[in-house]
Amino acid sequence: MPKQTLVFAALLIILGLGAFLSSGSQTALLPAYAGFALAVLAGLALVFEGGRRHLMHIAAVVALLGAVAPAAALGIRAAQMGPLALTVNIGMLALCGGLLALMVRSFVLMRQAA
């Protein structure tokens, strides 16, 4: 799972940096912050084999928070969002939600194999 997490982290960083460069707004960097945290956790999981399970569980929590935050923002004020903010929130929700789904599936498969 660490390699897949790095891919999702890179996509979140690209999303955040692209939104920031388009708008100049600091809040547009939120996906990049989540992506950076995921990249650090995935990198550590690749290096420290013994702590991989724990690091990936922490990454799953980051992905969960990364999905809940834009979902809440969309639920509260989607009608007032501009097109860029709407796109960034939907993108972050899709990426973090997708990563979380893959992680849960991986955790279940690992548990069944043990």
Of 36, 44, 41, which is closest to residue 60 (Cα–Cα)?
Answer: 41
Distance CA 33, CA 15 (A): 11
pLDDT value for 114: 75
pLDDT value for 57: 96
Write out the DSSP string of 43-61: HHHHH-GGGHHHHHHHHHH
pLDDT value for 34: 97
Distance CA 102, CA 104 (A): 6
How many CB atoms are closer than 10 A to CB 10?
A: 13
pLDDT value for 113: 87
Taking each helix axis as running N to C, give the angle between helix 52-77 and helix 30-47, from 0 to 180 degrees, rounded to the nearest 10.
170
How many CB atoms are closer than 10 A to CB 29?
A: 19
Total tally of structural domains belonging to the chain: 1
Task: Round the CA-based radius of gyration of the chain to a whole number and report it.
Answer: 15
Q: What is the pTM of this model?
A: 0.93
Range of the domain at 48: 2-113
pLDDT value for 6: 97
Residues of the chain with pLDDT under 50: none
Contact 63, 96 (CB under 8 A): yes
